[in-house]
Amino acid sequence: MYARRRRAYFLLMGGCLVLFVSAWGFVRLWSVPAAVAMCLVAMVIPPVAAMIANRRGPDDRWWDDPSGDPQSDEWWDELDGKRRPDRRERRDRDGEQDRDQDRDRGPDKDGPGGSAP
């Protein structure tokens, strides 16, 4: 895929150079407006060539595709917010928070028997 995109890029850029050189080399002798028009067309070609050269092909790996390393993929998914913690992890974390809150509250002020009158 990369070779096809590279070939297309060089063909477009070669066409751009041919247009520019021929416009001011010999077309200007017959028609200056035609030479200017050729230069305007040549001016549009480089950005189009860059877009074609940087386009993602159907077989190309993209920056957020899985790499095949499960630990790395899991880590990146968690950083990107794509993966939520498993239920067990959430339950364990919530349980720890509940225990921390109980410990911070301390013993009941009313004593073991219930509420005060």
Mean pLDDT across the chain, nearest whole number? 77
φ and ψ at 87, to 5 degrees?
A: -60, -40
* Cα radius of gyration (the chain): 33
Tens of pLDDT along 10-25?
Answer: 999 999 999 999 999 9
pTM above 0.85, yes or no: no
| pLDDT (mean) for 99-116 | 56
Q: Is residue 17 in some structural domain? A: yes
Tens of pLDDT along 76-107?
Answer: 778 777 766 565 555 555 555 555 555 556 55
Q: Is residue 43 in some structural domain? A: yes
Q: Which residue range forms the structural domain that includes residue 44?
A: 2-57
DSSP SS3 for 31: coil
Give the total number of structural domains in the chain: 1
Q: What is the pLDDT of residue 83?
A: 66
Q: Is residue 41 in some structural domain? A: yes
Q: Is residue 112 in some structural domain? A: no
